[in-house]
Each structure stands twice: as C-alpha cells, then as structure tokens.
Amino acid sequence: MKTLKYLTIIFASIIAIAACDRYLDQDPYQEISEEMSLSTDRNVQAVLVGAYAAMNNQNLYGGLIQTISELLAGDGEIQFVGTYSGLRQIFNKETLVSSNENARATWLQAYRLINICNNVLSALDVVNQGNKARVEGEARFLRALIYFDLVRLYGNKTYIDGDTDNNQDLGVPLSLNPTRGNPNAFKIPRATIQQVYDAVIEDLTKAANLLPLTNNYYATKGAAQALLARVYLQMQKYALARDYADSVIRSEQYSLVPNYADVFNQNEKTTEDIFVNKFTPQTRFSAMTEYWSVPQYGGRDGDIDILNGHLNLYPTGDTRRALFFNGNGAMRSGKWNNQYGTVVIIRLAEMYLIRAEANFRLGTAIGDTPLNDINLICQRAGLGPNYYTTITLSDILLQRRLELAHEGHKLHDVKRLRMNVGTRPYDHPKLTLPIPAREIQAYLPVVLVQNSGY
Amino acid sequence: MKKICSLIFALVLLGSVYAQQRKVTGTVVDASENTPIPGVNVLIKGTTTGTITDANGKFEISAAPEDVLMFRLLGYKTEEVLVGAQTQLSINLFPDIETLSEIIVVGYGTQIKSKVTGNIAKVGGEEIKNMPVPSVELAMQGKAAGVFIESVTGKATSATRVRIRGTTSLSGGNEPLYVIDGIPINNEALNLHGGAINPLASINFNDVESIEILKDAAAAAIYGARGANGVVLITTKKGKKGEATFEFNYQRGVSVASNRRDFMNAEEYIKFFRMAGRNADRYEMRLDNAPEEDSINYDFWQTFVEKRLKRYSGHAAILDENGNYLGSAVNTDWQDLVFQTAKNTSVDFSARGGSDKLRYFTSLGFTEQEGIVISNGFKRMSGRLNLENNAREWVDLGVNMTMSVTDLKQINADNAFANPIQAVALAPITPVRDTNGILYDRPTTTYYNPLRHSEYAHRKINEYRNITNAYANIKFNKMLTWQNEIGYDLYTLKENHKLGELTNDGQNGGYGFSNYGQLQTFVTKSLLDFKGTFGDFGVSAIAGTELLYAVRDRTWVTGERFPMDAFITLDAAGSITEGKQTLEKYSFLSYISRATLDYQEKILLSISGRIDGSSRFGKNNRYGFFPAASVGYILTKEEFLADNSTISFLKPRLSFGKTGNAEIGNYRHLGTFTSTQYNNVAGLTPYNVPNADLTWETTNQYNAGIDFGLLNNRLTGEIDYFMKKTSDLLFEVPVPGVSGYSTMLKNIAATENKGFEISLTANILTGNLKWNTNVNFSYLKNKVTNLAEQEIVDPGSSRFMNVLMLGQPIGVFYGAEYAGVDPTNGDALWYVNGPNGVDSLGNRLTTNQFDEANFVVLGSPMPDKMFSITNSFEYTVAGFKLDLSFMFQGVFGNKIHLAGDPYMAASGEWFDNQLRSQLNAWTPTNKNTNVPEARLIFANGTESRSSRYLEDGSYVKLRTVQFGITLPKSLLNQYKVNNIRLFVTGHNLLTFTKYTGWDPEVSSDAFVNNLRSGIDFYSPPQPRSLVFGVNMSF
C-alpha cells in the first residue's frame, strides 16, 4: 500500500513536470521576429509602412523638424511664449544646451527612420519584381529626406557652394546599412557635409528614376524631383534646382489650389501637395497643431505668437495674411488647425518659387519667366493677375518668405541667403542644434565631435 | 525520491531497535487552551530514545518504570515525568511566554522563531489593524527594520514603493514578491492612465493574522528567481476550534493635506511680474549691448506683462479710463481649492470558530477613504472565507478565498495639466469662474484649469479580485506529508474615462476611454514535507515542484465626438479613435527543496535549493539554480550560559544565499518588430534588440546576525549585518542613437547593498502599568559596483538628474552645483567644477553659463538611515484598560529633487504663480540673496539639473498615535459582549523636516522608475488623519 502511494507521487510528479515544461516557451503576441519581418514581399512592404509611421512622428515631420527651423531662426516675426523648456531654449538660442530634449528626440527618431529605410533596402531581394523599384525608391526618398534635414539642423556649418570647407566641416554620421546585433558597434563618426549631401543626392536621383508618378500618400517621382530641387537650391546649385523644379511643374501631376486657405487644414491630399505627412485619429495628433494652434483646435496654450513684424510684410488684400487669426490673446498661424489632417512637406508653390529664383539668378527663363511664376503665386494670394510688372530678387525672396511662412523653411533660407537672426549672423554657432549630449555619452570612449557652439 | 524513502525507513527502524520495555501511551495538551499539541518531542532523559506526538497530541513510547520522560517543544516549558507504574499519561504543557517562541511563517512552511536561522521580520495582524491607510504594506510602515515603505504620492489611490534592504535593480522590479497564504500574487497595476495604482489595496488587511518579511537570502532563496527583492508572506486569519467569536470594527475619521506651500498673493504676483518684465527688457539690452538711452525702445516685455496681467485677470481686471491695468478684484488661493478635508470610514465584521474537524474564518469589510485632493478617493468591499477540514485521518483539506471590489476615483498623474495640484501654477489674479459661472480656462487661466476635470470629467477605476487557494495535505505517517495546492489570482481592472467638451482633452466633442485589463495567475504546487526527530537530531525537509503561469490581456478603446456631455459610455462616440488589444503570457517552472537539521535544538542548520526556469529568459539561460545555507547556535542551551541571570537567550547565526530577480518584462530576449500604422495601413517597425543571453539578475547575500534576550527576555533583540551583492543587473543601456535604437536591455551592471539592522523590544514596565518599547534602526549603503565599461550612465535628461555612476548609489543626483547669485548683476551662478574648476590661487570658479558648469555628484535619492521607535503603554484603572501607543519614524541622508520648482520658484521666468521665496530675488538694493534676478522668459538659473532645486529629504514623523479604552468585562458580561474598545488614531500628525516642498515622503508618480527616484513634481503630500473607532467582540 505504502509503495503504491509513493509510486503515485513519483508518477504524478513526472507527469506534472513533463506537462509543464512547454509553458516555458512563450512567444510574444504583439511582436514578430526580425527575420520574419524581412522575409516576404508583404512583410518588407509592411516595414516600409513602418518607415512612414516613423516619419509621421511628432519629433520629425509631425512638427518638430519644421518648428525647430522656424524657432531657431525666429526673430521679430514670431515669439515663442509656451512652456516647453526645450522649445524655449531653441527660440532663445542663448540658453540652448546640448541636453536639449528636442534636439535629442529629433536625432533619435531620425536615425530610427534611417534604420528602417536601411532594413527595407537590405531586403529588396524578397520583394516581388513588380514592387521592387517602388519599394526601393520610397525607402531611398525617405532616407534622403531625413538626412537632408539632419545635415541642415545638426551640421556644424551650412553648405556653401564651391567652398572646400564642405569636405572638412562635419555633417552627421552616415549610416547606410541596417543595424544587426549589438547596436553598440554602430559608433559611426560624423561624415563631412559634402558626404551627406552626396548621399542625399544619390538616393534622390535613384528614387526619381525608380518611383511612379502617382503613389497614393507615398513618395512619387515628383516628390523625389521636388526634393532634389530643394536640395540643389540649398546648395546654391541653381541650374539643377531650376531644372528639377521645372520638371515637377511640367509633369502635370500637380496644380495650385485656387484658394490659398484651402492648401491647409485638409483631411486629404490636395492637387498642390507633392508630399504630405498624413495624420489620422489612429496616429497621434500633429505637433504642428500642438505648437502653433490654440486649445480649441487641439493646440496647446497658443505657444507661438505671430508678431506684427511678420504680419506687416503682407500687402493689403493678401489672402495669406487673412489666414492668420486671433487666438488666446495673440495672432496665430492659421495653417495648422487640423490636428488629424495633413501636414504639407512639399507643395507645388515652392517649385514655382525655386524655378523663379533660380531662373532670375541665372538670367534664364526655363519653363517660364520669374515674373510670370511669381505673379502666378501672387494671383493665387488674391493680389490680382499682374501684381508685379517688373521683378527683383528681393521681390522673389519676399514672396517665398510669405508663401512658405511657418512651414519649416525659415532657418534654411536664412543660412542659404546668409541673413542674420537678430544680431547673430547666419553662421553663428547657436543657429545649429547641438549633437545631443546623450549621443556623445553613448559613443564613449569613441569621441563623437560636438558642434562648435556647445 | 527513493533515497529519501529508504532513509526514512532506516531511521524508523533504528528507533524501534531500542523499544524493549513496556509500552507507554499518552496525550500532550496545551495547558492554557486545552488543545492537543502535535510535534512535541518525547525523550527518555539521558538517552537518545524518543518520539514525537502526532496530530492529535498522542504519543507512544517504550520505557522502563525508572525512566524519566521529557516533553519538549519550543514555545512551551519543558515537562519531566517519572514513568513509574503509569502506562497512560496525560501531560499538560505550559506556554513559555517568550517572544522567541513564536511561530514564524517561512517560505513553504512554518518554524519556531528561536530555530530560525535566516532573517525574518514578523508583523502581527494586531499591529496593523485599523490603520487609516488603504493598503497592507502602508500599514506596515516603520514596523520592520531595513524595510523602506512609502506611498509614491499622497493620492488615495497611489502605488507604493517597498524596498527591502535597499534597491538592487536598475531596470527590473524592485518590489518584493508578495505571497498570500502560499500563493504568489500579482502586484502589477494594469491601469493605462494616471499614476500606477496599487493592486495590493484590494486586500483587506484586517483579515491578516501575520506578515513575515523574508529579508536575507537564507529565508528568501526558497523563492529563487523571484526572491532577490525579499518576500512578504501574508498569512490570513484561520478558524479556531470552539464557539464562534464575532468581531466588529468600525471607524470614522478625517484627513487633510499634511502641508501647504506658501505662494504669492495677487498683489505680490502683479508686482513681481512687472519687475520680471522690466528686468527682461533690461537683460535684452544687455545682450544686444545697447546703450542705456535706448531703454525707451526696450519695452517689449513690459508691455507683454501688462497684456498678460489683464488677460489673466479676466472679468476681475481693474483698469483705468485708458484701459491700463491697475489690478485684480480677486485674490484666488488655488492651492486651497484643490485640497479638501477628506472623510474616511471603515467597517469590518468577522466570525471565526469551528469544531474538531472543521474550522472557519469569515469576514466582510468595507473601507472608504476620500482623497485629500479633490476628485480622488478609494473604496473597497471585500469578503473572505477560510476553511480547514480534517477530512480523514490521513488528509486535511482547506480553502482560502477572498473576493474584493474596489472603486477608485483617480486623478491624473503628477505631470498632467489636469493634475489638480497643478492649479497652484495659475495666477492668483485669475477668478475661478467667468461671469456665467463656468470655470475659467485658457486664455484667461495661464494653463488648463484642472478644476474643470472635477466638474466635467469622470475618471473611474474598478478592480475585481479573487484570490483562492485550495489544498489537500495527505499524511502518510506522522512524519511525512504530501502537500498539494492550487491557487488562482484573478485580477480584473476596468478603467473608464469620459472627459467633457470643456476639458483640455475633450475639445473634439468629448473624449471617452475604456480599458479592460485582466491578469490571471495560476499556481500549482506539490510538496513532500518531512518532520522527524531522531535522538538529538530534529530533521525537517521539503521537496517539490511549483508551476506558475500568468496571462495578462488588455483591451482598450478611445472615442471622440459625443453628441453631448451627458453620454459617458463609448457607445455614443461619433468616432472611435483607437482600439487595441494586447496579450502577454509568462511562466515559471520551479523545483524546490529545503532541509533543516538541529542538534539538541541548539545547533541549527538549514540548506535549501531551488531551480527556476522562466519564459522570460533567453534560450541560453533558461534555468537558474538558487541555493542557500544558514547556521545558528543557541548558546544559552549550553551549560555555561544555561543559568545565566542576565543573558536569557543568545543565538548567533550566519547565512548565505543566492536569489534572482526575474521582473524583467516579457519577451525581452527576442529580436522583434512590432506593429504600427500609417495612413490607416498596418506596418511593422523594429522594436526590441535581441539578446539570447538575457537572464535574471543574481543577488548573493551574506548575513551575520545575533538574536538575544536579556534579563529574563525583558529586553530582546536582533542585530544583523548584511551584504547583498547583485550582479548581471539588467539595464537599458543607452546605445548610439545612430543605430536606430536608443537603448538595449543587457545584464551588465552590479550593485552592492551593505548595512546593518537593529531591532529591540523592551518590556520596561510589566505591572499594572505596562510599558513596552520597540526600536528599529537600519543603516544601508548602496553603490553601483560595475557598469560594464562605463563610469557613468547618464540618460542626458535636462529635467532630471538621476544617473548611474560607479561607486555611487543608484540614481545619484548628478548636476550643476549652484553657487548662488552674482551680486553685481543678479545672474545665477554655478561652480565650474571639473578640471578647470579652480584658478591658480585655488579659488573655486563660478560661471553664469549653465553649460560651462561641469556636473558633480550632488546627493543620493535614497536614505541611508531609517529608524522607528514605538512606545506602548497599558494601564488598568477601575476595570478600564487604557492603552496608548505612538510611533516616531524617520529617514535620513537622502536628497529630494524639487523638479516642479523650476516652474514655481523660477525667478519669474514664466507666469506660473511663484513661491513667496522668490520675493527675495536679486535687485540692485537686495544684492545679498541666493534667488537670481527675476526675468521673464530669460531663464536665470532655472535649469532643473542644479543643486538649486535639491534639498535634504530627511524627516521624522509622528507616524501614528493610538489611544484606546477597553471597557471593563463586568460591565459587558450582562450584554453578552466579550470586549469593547474605543479608540482614536492619529496618522502623520507631526512632521519634522527641513524640506520646503509639500512632503519629503513623496516621489512623483509620473516620473519615478528604478533610476529616477526622489523626485517631487506637483505631488500631493501624505494625508494627516484622525480617526475614531470601536472594536467589539462577542
């Protein structure tokens, strides 16, 4: 009897244990393995969607990339009055330090996007032939888009055409392969400004050849060419800028929206939009709304006041002036009042402005004359068909400033045109973001060089 | 298994060899309760022959008439009886009234306190009963040496932090494992919004018989990979043989915030910000190198201030005929509006009794505690049924079951604008309501007016919890029992929010949120338990297996665009903005064994080993082995001390053990992508960096202690020295962001906790006036001993300054050292420190550029010394028994980061109402101050990572005072009532501290994690309570 009992125990224990061991193998439900993610056509395309989701992030094109540019170059036209200390530092510049939380957040999210693009580009072999060109083109476009902004925001100097310093001044680390294994192995040194621009142009040139003309909300041939126009303009390579802008305009894929106000706060892409960042209630809200708008539209407190210094630049009757509104005790930009709408990244009007400026500088009239291009923009702004009868470079630049106000171009134009921000010249070290302190720490003992102002 | 069996048989056989003479049988009973006592050693004096009594106190032994039988059991006085002609003995054992003879619950069993060789602190149920706090661990505050307990904030629903012998983990859990009646329970909050709530608050602690805290590894190693943070064993009240005893407790009281801070009034506010505007303009001139005569052009900020003052004054603005601002008609004290006098009520009813075969304990309880902050409160209803049944001679069955429902009114986390405390940031010139009686909001208020949440938001959490365990203990013979048990902890949480259109998040036609979370924990275990005495040797051993399997799932939905505020369910939402479900599972499979051995009950030895496997660990490290060993020697049992009149008990002990910490999250060893979406299309995105080596954190703990009793045990105590070395610490190691990741979870670091604990109990007076004093003191030194190759891991935050640094405590504050104010211009100064910190003459250099100040260690967030002292008095007069006890408790040596002060003590950087301390700001006529010049917008010394915002967090609190009157029995007997005690309890009545924040006992629920602690950010203070109540039994 006793033996039987003991046997029962032993037997029961064995059964119990044998049955239990399988409980130790638990696979996640909300995640899948890295290998599986890059194993099929469908999965790689899903990772590509992930790249757009990363781009959508508030720390990138969801608002911060544009807002940093406007705030860092903010002077007399806007006033930051919000409480986010990071943004306040950026606006004040004097108090901007290497631990700035926005400089950190944008940096981290940018490289996150880059790694996703690198992952997609590493797995093109499994993508179906019919999708391959488009998938590669989109990944290259997104990678170029973010590198271009990284080098402009974090590069130690601005790009000056023909200056050999471009080959010495530090841009940002250039990571073109996916991160595998220990991320600590990826202590990539900062590439030169020239190297980063080269990589951007290579990606965009390839993307422009690979991408289709239309592609829903995703990158297109037009988007790649438009971005090339923007890149070459920044590099003061006006002929190339002009030709790409002209090519986009003549592609007949885009047309100006009749009313300026209808360019913004849209739920869907407009005919003028070349590339947008799309928000839906399922993503987070646009940070452009958060920073620039007021509580009734989902904004914060009205963190950025638009000053008369800006408002007085508009001529009477300008519908672009009419878009500003009084909210929470000050004038606000009316471009960002739809928190779940589209945030425009590149639109057709910019192409006209690039073509006009480049043609003017080169004394050419490829596509159309600068006068006609600018008058087209002015006409849409409610200023009549022939607002200018003759045109100067400063007219063109003024129209550019008004047309594209508060869309994230300010800092880059200041640097390109070698203007001042207050008393600071365009190459003042505080007009560049610091390399985040956390990144310098994480690189140790490898030295990641800090920018000269920090 | 076979070996154990044959050993048992051999030993049993050995015992019977000597049984030659005649058979003597008998029963041993407890003289005071007249109940049989099992497990009594029956020994023939001068020999090693003996036996032990069975479950019914019966024994059988062969003895000669001249033999003297000794009956020994710890906790009882030893009896000696000459056998003589008797064959049937009836022995009464008298309890030995010593604290050292208590029964102590240990992992997977019980032991007598004097035989314990590990370090275990016991808190009796009576000690925590009726405490006006929501949860069991808060009721234990100060009751055990070396155990740090604090409520994260003063919210009624707040999570708690419990640290047993210091913080060990950087990324994993630091909370101890909680085990109720043998079942490890979930202590994970499932709410998604607001600060983490406290799942332990769903347990009614008036049901608790005792709490044992396993502190050293010898005690905790039996819990293996989950024991490194210590283990809290909670044992609930069980039935008692005899007529039913009913107990009824009722109490009612009030709580208020234990402290207020001193903010500017309307007049001061206006004056101060006008000055800040003027100074901002002047500062801008200085930046631009503009000559003084240009000052007429520098009036931007002064104008700005006037506009803002007018705006913030709303309808209360007083203007002159030109529209210039003169002042406000109101002086609003926002702080006063968010605190409330909170009522609390607790009713509790229980019954216990039973027959020989079946014993029961059952209870019902209701507790309601309003928060000291508006819109905050806690309610709990609970019931319990514990049954024990001696079903057959060979099997005992039992079940412990509790069910509880809680109903929480939850407020936002500390960092949210809707956190009521953030109302202190609003201007005192702002009226509370507009002319229509609606609470003002932006743009009239500086920020969102959190009072709106109290009128337009519903935020509710309900928890439903059932913890049940059932067991069958099969007795093969007197020595060997097979214990089988299953346990189930079903924890369900419902979190529902509806924010009206007038709230900050409800502007899109209202906002609704519903979260349903559930965590189920199944435990099954099977243990063989052996207890026996072989001559001078007492042996007990367990061996068995345990499987724990947990499933956590959550589903949540959010929606917007409700037709009107009156709809509070998501059914009415015009658009569903988010809908998610997540599911996670984890498991532990464990093999458990322990053996304890004593020689003549004076030399004690215990060894244990546990093997744990878990789904949380990487493939390469799936199973871990956690051994422990301990020895003790009761010197007072040796002849040279046996009759010592001073030393009545003395037991040195030593222990070593290895424990693990498996609270590392699930699935973290896998390299994964997770789902995401863009433009309503699903996508994938990199999520976790793979690490197949990922494993538990290992703690090796050494403990040397001594238990003693002096002067007939009138003074008893324990002194322990310990060293906890934790290695393989997991840390989210910052990696180059260029990799596309920001951190990676790795077993890289090591820490050490060293210290000592002293616990003393003195029965100072024992006559009619009884006076008992209990003192706990502990000292703890924590330091990081390894950080892989790094000297420092600094997350690089601009707001928080906790870092990991070699040789320093975990989360040490690291920032710029504030050097006061430059008397010439009012600029904030910091010491330069670092290599260029001194000039050639050795003078310390200062700078007004924050970035030029090298960071230095500024202090530790964790206290290194803790103490508590409790005095209890009892005095009987005219049949009335009066009792009084009070406990002072304190912590020393820690700093607190006032992370909210860069907004409220910010030299007027922005329009947040400022603390009155800022009135002492630098001016040309007030140069000798450490408050920098007030400057709107131009931050002057408001960088958060500075010792300007760090203060000493040491405190001593009069934690509890209790006064009770027990009515005379003579008065009660006629009403068939056994006992009535009326009492009044005060909680947190006094605080002694230099800290200028609301409460030094605080850690913001929005920011605190393992690394970041000691942060005060608009966190409400602990409640100060006064409670009246009655205990009655009949």
Give the domains, in start order, of chain A with CATH numbers: 41-180+188-419 (1.25.40.390)
Q: What is the dihedral of CA B204, B206, B210, B215, to 10 degrees?
A: 50
**CA–CA gap between residue B702 and residue A64 (Å, rounded):** 52
Q: To the nearest whole angstrom, how far is the Cα of A116 from the nearest Cα of chain B?
A: 7
- Asked whether residue B456 is domain-assigned, the answer is no
**Domain count along chain B:** 2
> Are B88 and B190 members of one domain?
no
Q: What are the φ and ψ backbone dihedral angles of B509, each rounded to 5 degrees?
A: 70, 30
For residue A346, give both structure tokens: 């590149």
CATH number at residue B188: 2.170.130.10
First vs last C-alpha separation in chain B: 50
> Are B39 and B92 members of one domain?
yes
Q: Are strands B231-236 and B177-180 parallel, antiparallel or unpaired?
A: parallel
Q: Which among B308, B622, B738 is the top mutation candidate for probing chain A, defined by the most A β-carbons within 10 Å of its own β-carbon?
A: B738
> Are B127 and B228 members of one domain?
yes
Q: Please name the residues between 384 and 443 in chain A that touch chain B, using a CB distance below 8 Å.
A: 422-423, 436-439, 441-443
Q: Are strands A420-421 and B818-821 parallel, antiparallel or unpaired?
A: unpaired
> A303 in contact with B at a CB cutoff of 8 Å?
no
Q: To the nearest whole angstrom, how far is the Cα of B590 from the nearest Cα of chain A?
A: 9
- Laid out side by side, the sheet with B177-180 consists of B120-124, B208-214, B231-236, B177-180, B183-184
Q: Which of B79, B97, B115 represents a domain boundary (last residue)?
A: B97
Q: Do B735 and A16 touch (CB under 8 A)?
A: no
> Are B188 and B59 members of one domain?
no
pLDDT tens over chain A, length 454 residues: 555 666 566 556 655 655 566 777 777 877 788 778 888 999 999 999 999 999 999 999 999 999 999 999 988 899 998 878 899 889 988 888 888 999 999 999 999 999 999 999 999 999 999 999 999 999 999 999 999 999 999 999 999 998 888 899 999 999 999 988 778 888 999 999 999 999 999 999 999 999 999 999 999 999 999 999 999 999 999 999 999 999 999 999 999 999 999 999 999 999 999 999 999 877 778 999 999 999 888 888 889 999 999 999 999 999 999 999 998 878 999 999 998 889 999 999 999 999 999 999 999 999 999 999 999 999 999 999 999 999 999 999 999 999 999 999 999 999 999 999 988 999 999 999 999 988 998 898 899 999 998 8
pLDDT value at residue B768 = 87
- Asked whether residue B982 is domain-assigned, the answer is no
For residue B85, give both structure tokens: 């002609």
> Are B62 and B163 members of one domain?
no
> Are B125 and B202 members of one domain?
yes
> Are B137 and B223 members of one domain?
yes
> Are B108 and B86 members of one domain?
no
- Asked whether residue B25 is domain-assigned, the answer is yes
The residue range of the domain holding B223 is: 100-238
Q: What is the dihedral of CA B847, B848, B850, B854, to 10 degrees?
A: 10
Longest dimension (CA), chain A: 114
The DSSP-derived string for B986-1030 is EEEEEEEE---SS-SS---TTT--SS--SEESSPPPPEEEEEEEE
Q: Which of B70, B97, B124 represents a domain boundary (last residue)?
A: B97
**CA–CA gap between residue A340 and residue B963 (Å, rounded):** 61
For residue B747, give both structure tokens: 């077993």
> Are B233 and B136 members of one domain?
yes
pLDDT tens for residues B332-349? 999 999 999 999 999 999
- Asked whether residue B110 is domain-assigned, the answer is yes
**CA–CA gap between residue B435 and residue B443 (Å, rounded):** 15
- Asked whether residue B628 is domain-assigned, the answer is no
Q: Which of B12-26, B316-330, B999-1013 has the lowest mean pLDDT?
A: B12-26
> A308 in contact with B at a CB cutoff of 8 Å?
no
Q: Which of B36, B67, B97 represents a domain boundary (last residue)?
A: B97
Q: Positive or negative, the Cα torsion across B144, B149, B154, B159? A: negative
Q: To the nearest whole angstrom, how far is the Cα of A414 from the nearest Cα of chain B?
A: 20
For residue A379, the tally of other CB atoms under 10 A from its CB is: 14
**Residue B443 preceded by cis peptide, ω within 30:** yes
**CA–CA gap between residue B946 and residue B814 (Å, rounded):** 8
Q: At what angle do helices A101-122 and A85-92 cross, to 10 degrees?
A: 100
- Asked whether residue B206 is domain-assigned, the answer is yes
Q: Positive or negative, the Cα torsion across A179, A180, A183, A187? A: negative
Q: Do B683 and A52 touch (CB under 8 A)?
A: yes
- Asked whether residue B589 is domain-assigned, the answer is no
For residue B123, give both structure tokens: 């808190």
**CA–CA gap between residue B164 and residue B146 (Å, rounded):** 6
Mark B236-270 as b/e (b = at least 16 C-beta within 10 Å). Answer: bbbbbeeeeeebbbbbbbbbbbbbebebbebebbb
For residue A240, give both structure tokens: 């190339």
In B917-981, where does DSSP find H-type helix? 969-972
CATH number at residue B16: 2.60.40.1120
Of A86, A255, A248, A56, the closest CA to residue A146 belongs to: A56
CB B858 within 8 A of CB B813: yes
**CA–CA gap between residue B227 and residue B217 (Å, rounded):** 8
Q: Do B686 and A116 touch (CB under 8 A)?
A: yes
> A173 in contact with B at a CB cutoff of 8 Å?
yes
pLDDT tens for residues B595-648? 999 998 889 999 999 998 888 877 777 888 999 999 999 998 888 887 788 888
> Are B71 and B144 members of one domain?
no
Q: What percent of chain B has pLDDT over 70?
A: 97
> Are B213 and B106 members of one domain?
yes
Q: Which residues of A touch B736 (CB under 8 A)?
A: 183-184, 186-188, 439, 442-443
- Mean pLDDT rounded to a whole number for chain B: 88
Give the nearest chain A residue to B793 (CA atoms): A441
> Are B71 and B119 members of one domain?
no
- Asked whether residue B39 is domain-assigned, the answer is yes
